[in-house]
Amino acid sequence: MSGRSPAQRFLVLGAILAGCGVAAGAFGAHALKEILDAPMLQVFETATRYVMYHAFGLCIVSWAIDRYPGQGLEKSGWFFILGILLFSGSLYVVSLAGIRWVGAVTPIGGLAFMTGWVLLAWGVSREALPRATSRTP
């Protein structure tokens, strides 16, 4: 994806991750329904839901980067990606492999998600704030 603008990169990643989220949801609903017990299926579904939320979040970041250039909004997108890897990734490992200690990573991913949303709001609101103008007496 080199040669693409940051907005294009995040839009492409958001679209790919949304497609992966749909595939994971279908896999969970059809293939895993008979394999996983109800609590682990719910863990898998939570992971998938957060992939989808933040895939759409990446699309919002893409739009915001184009709309509000120079505000450091790329950091928000990278925190969303980190959150998907840590939060959803750890929940997938817990639900599919049964390695429960990996669940200790989940809150770090949640913190990455929250940081991404705060950075997005901050970057967009910084652009919306009126700039101080110098006054001459």
Q: pLDDT digits over 87-105, tens only?
A: 999 999 999 999 999 999 9
DSSP state of 34: T
Average pLDDT over residues 102-130: 91
- Supply the mean pLDDT for the chain: 92
Query: Model confidence over 21-78: pLDDT tens digits?
Result: 999 999 999 999 989 999 999 999 999 999 999 999 999 999 999 999 888 899 999 9
The model's pTM: 0.89
Alpha helix ranges (H) inside the chain: 6-30, 38-67, 74-83, 89-97, 106-128
Q: Is 60 exceeded by the pLDDT of residue 132?
A: no
> Where along the chain do its domains lie?
6-125
51 in Cβ contact with 26 (< 8 Å): no
